[in-house]
Chains A and B, each alone.
Chain A
Amino acid sequence: MSELCWTSMTELARMIAGKKVSPVDVVQAHLDRITAIDGKVKAYITVMGESALAAARAAEAAVQSGAPLGPLHGVPMGLKDLYCTKGVKTTGGSKLLGEWVPGEDATVAARLAAAGAICLGKLNMHEFAYGPEGLNPHYGTPWNPWDVATHRICGGSSSGSGAAVAAGLCPGALGSDTGGSIRIPSSLCGLSGIKPTYGRVSRAGVLPLAWSMDHVGPMCRSVADCALMLAPMAGYDPRDPTTSVLPVPDYGAALTGQIKGLRVGLLRSFFLESAGAAQRAAVEAAAKLLESQGATVEPVDLKKVDLAPAVSHAVLAPEAYAYHEEWLKTRATEYGPDVRERLRLGAFVTGAEYLKGQRLRALFRDEVDQVFARLDVLLAPTTPTAATAVGQSEVRIGDGSFPVRPSLIRYTRPFNLTGHPAASVPCGFTTDGLPIGLQIVGRPFDEATVLRVADAYQRLTDWHTRRAPLGG
Chain B
Amino acid sequence: MDGIMRYSPGMEKLTVDTLRILARAQGLELTDAELTALLPLVEGGRNGLAAIRDLPVESEPASQFRVF
List A residues at the B interface (Cβ < 8 Å): 212, 241, 307, 309-311, 313-314, 317, 328-329, 341, 344-345, 347-349, 353, 355-363, 365
Query: For residue A359, which residues in chain B have a CB less than 8 angstroms away from its CB?
Result: 55, 59-62
Query: For residue A212, which residues in chain B have a CB less than 8 angstroms away from its CB?
Result: 62-63
Can you list 13 contacts pairing A with B, beta carbon distance less than 8 Å?
A212-B63, A307-B52, A309-B48, A317-B45, A345-B42, A348-B46, A349-B45, A355-B61, A355-B63, A356-B7, A359-B62, A360-B52, A361-B62
Pair B63/A358 contact, Cβ less than 8 Å: yes
Query: For residue A362, which residues in chain B have a CB less than 8 angstroms away from its CB?
Result: 59-62
Shortest beta-carbon distance, A24 to chain B, in Å?
46
- Given A344-B23, A347-B28, A348-B23; 20 other pairs, CB 8 A cutoff: A309-B48, A310-B48, A311-B49, A313-B49, A314-B45, A329-B28, A345-B38, A345-B42, A345-B45, A348-B19, A348-B22, A355-B61, A355-B63, A356-B7, A356-B55, A357-B49, A358-B61, A359-B59, A359-B62, A363-B55
Query: For residue A317, which residues in chain B have a CB less than 8 angstroms away from its CB?
Result: 45
List B residues at the A interface (Cβ < 8 Å): 7, 19, 22-23, 26-28, 30, 34, 37-38, 41-42, 45-46, 48-49, 51-52, 55-56, 59-63, 66
Shortest beta-carbon distance, A325 to chain B, in Å?
8
Cα separation A309 to B51 with both chains bound (whole Å): 12
Q: Which of B34, B59, B66 contacts A341 (CB 8 A)?
A: B34
Q: Which of B19, B27, B28, B45 contacts A310 (CB 8 A)?
A: B45
Pair B49/A356 contact, Cβ less than 8 Å: yes
Q: Which of A310, A344, A348, A363 contacts B59 (CB 8 A)?
A: A363
Shortest beta-carbon distance, B66 to chain A, in Å?
6
Query: For residue A355, which residues in chain B have a CB less than 8 angstroms away from its CB?
Result: 61, 63
B58: nearest chain-A partner, CB-CB: A359
Shortest beta-carbon distance, A8 to chain B, in Å?
37
Pair A348/B55 contact, Cβ less than 8 Å: no
B39: nearest chain-A partner, CB-CB: A348
Shortest beta-carbon distance, A344 to chain B, in Å?
6
Pair B42/A310 contact, Cβ less than 8 Å: no
Query: For residue A363, which residues in chain B have a CB less than 8 angstroms away from its CB?
Result: 55-56, 59
Pair B66/A365 contact, Cβ less than 8 Å: no
Query: For residue B56, which residues in chain A have a CB less than 8 angstroms away from its CB?
Result: 363
Shortest beta-carbon distance, A128 to chain B, in Å?
18
Shortest beta-carbon distance, A423 to chain B, in Å?
23
User: Which of A307, A355, A359, A362 has the most chain B CB within a 10 Å cutoff?
Assistant: A359
Cα separation A307 to B26 with both chains bound (whole Å): 28
A332: nearest chain-B partner, CB-CB: B28
Cα separation A111 to B34 with both chains bound (whole Å): 43
Cα separation A329 to B23 with both chains bound (whole Å): 11
Query: For residue A361, which residues in chain B have a CB less than 8 angstroms away from its CB?
Result: 61-62
Cα separation A356 to B7 with both chains bound (whole Å): 10
Cα separation A141 to B63 with both chains bound (whole Å): 35
Query: For residue B66, which residues in chain A have a CB less than 8 angstroms away from its CB?
Result: 241
Question: A347-B23, A356-B55 are contacts. A313–B48 as well, Cβ < 8 Å?
Answer: yes
Query: For residue A358, which residues in chain B have a CB less than 8 angstroms away from its CB?
Result: 61-63
Query: For residue A365, which residues in chain B have a CB less than 8 angstroms away from its CB?
Result: 62
Query: For residue A345, which residues in chain B have a CB less than 8 angstroms away from its CB?
Result: 38, 41-42, 45
Q: Which of B42, B48, B51 contacts A348 (CB 8 A)?
A: B42
Cα separation A359 to B26 with both chains bound (whole Å): 25
Shortest beta-carbon distance, B30 to chain A, in Å?
7
Cα separation A349 to B28 with both chains bound (whole Å): 14
Query: For residue B48, which residues in chain A have a CB less than 8 angstroms away from its CB?
Result: 309-310, 313
Shortest beta-carbon distance, B15 to chain A, in Å?
13
Nearest 3 pairs of A and B residues by beta carbon: A310-B48, A358-B61, A362-B62
Cα separation A291 to B16 with both chains bound (whole Å): 55
B35: nearest chain-A partner, CB-CB: A344
Cα separation A45 to B19 with both chains bound (whole Å): 37
Pair B62/A341 contact, Cβ less than 8 Å: no
A349: nearest chain-B partner, CB-CB: B45
Cα separation A307 to B55 with both chains bound (whole Å): 11
Pair A341/B49 contact, Cβ less than 8 Å: no
Cα separation A314 to B48 with both chains bound (whole Å): 9
Cα separation A357 to B46 with both chains bound (whole Å): 11
A347: nearest chain-B partner, CB-CB: B26
Query: For residue A307, which residues in chain B have a CB less than 8 angstroms away from its CB?
Result: 52
Pair B30/A344 contact, Cβ less than 8 Å: yes
Query: For residue A309, which residues in chain B have a CB less than 8 angstroms away from its CB?
Result: 48
Cα separation A313 to B43 with both chains bound (whole Å): 12
Cα separation A349 to B49 with both chains bound (whole Å): 10
